[in-house]
Amino acid sequence: MFVARVIPSEGLDPVRDACDLDLWEDELPPPRDELLRRVAGCDGVLTLLTDRVDDEFLDAAGPQLKVVSNYAVGFDNIDVAACARRGIPVGNTPGVLTDTTADLTWALLMAAARRLPEGDRYVRAGSWKTWGPLLLLGPDVHGATIGIVGFGRIGQAVARRAQGFGMEILYHDLQPLPPSVSDPLGATYLPLEELLPRSDFVTLHVNLSPVTRHLINAETLALMKSTAVLVNTSRGPVVDQAALASALRDGVIWAAALDVTDPEPIPMDDPLVGLDNCLIVPHIASASRATRGKMASMAAANLLAGVRGEQLPTEVPPPS
């Protein structure tokens, strides 16, 4: 087995106990040529979202490869169709990170609305001289309208949090969900072009696909309120970053909070980095100790099942 990074012991220990483990121990991902060299001859590989699994990777691994287990719920780094053509199942880690990701989404939303990073920088810069009636004003979160784009597990978990803040909850997805899902959340379906102008907060929870790449662009940003806050904990390329930077600079929208960027890490000369109304954290939505441990144990279970020729506990459905 090749495991492409040190993951929590909940996943590493069972793999180490069961098989011959080649572990990439650096903090940074293996460079491409090293990755291709290390997977050669492996029966199973445990990858991260930083490792691209495509035909080149599968050729390098060889025909004995039985499983690709991704340490993430997202799998846009994997060409699932290419794996399916070779009969190689792909595993991911759904479910266990839903609430942890929704928590971080909420932290970003609150922090951007109430300008926490700016406030922190202000204090540390020694600028805090007195209580100021106009200092660092922002919008209320309670009672506001939230537009949730992508109403799967994580989007719905965000909606549950929004209920506690007495918010009006709007959502958009490929199609309206059954009332048995949306009614208990008090969530109303709207087409994207109707949801954006009505939302005070817009939060993104879609998979990255050709359909969702640059879903938020100059045109869709222009539909949003000039007071709106955009939150992205999905994937960086869902947002056209150059368009977002212009929108934040020109007051088309008020603020943004990003857990994901395009590329990652975001280059230090990206215009977003210089904007006070853009909060950026380094793709940490699932980063609680407990959740990363559960993800590790699920990824190990998928890896070991695949090597034994068993059904993966959580397999990414192959494209039809």
Annotated active-site positions, please? Answer: 235, 264, 283
What character string, x for contact with ligand DGY (CB under 6 A) and - otherwise, covers 19-58? Answer: ------------------------------x---------
Which one among 42, 45, 72, 162 touches ligand DGY, defined by CB under 6 A? 72
73 binds ligand DGY (CB under 6 A): yes
The DSSP code sequence of 248-285 is HHTTSSSEEEES--SSSSPPTTSGGGG-TTEEE--S-T
286 binds ligand DGY (CB under 6 A): yes
74 binds ligand DGY (CB under 6 A): yes
d(CA 79, CA 152): 22
204 binds ligand DGY (CB under 6 A): no
The amino acid that residue 186 corresponds to is G
The DSSP code sequence of 12-47 is HHHHHHHS--EE--SSSPPPHHHHHHHHTT-SEEEE
300 binds ligand DGY (CB under 6 A): no
Query: Nearest Cα to 69, choosing from 2, 164, 149, 152?
Result: 2
Query: Nearest Cα to 148, choosing from 76, 232, 245, 237?
Result: 232
> Stretches 26-34, 68-76, 237-245, 302-310: which one binds ligand DGY (CB under 6 A)?
68-76
157 binds ligand DGY (CB under 6 A): no
232 binds ligand DGY (CB under 6 A): no
CB of residue 222 vs ligand DGY: minimum separation in angstroms? 28
The answer to whether residues 224 and 199 touch, using CB atoms and an 8 Å cutoff, is: yes
- The footprint of ligand DGY (CB under 6 A) covers 49, 72-74, 97, 286
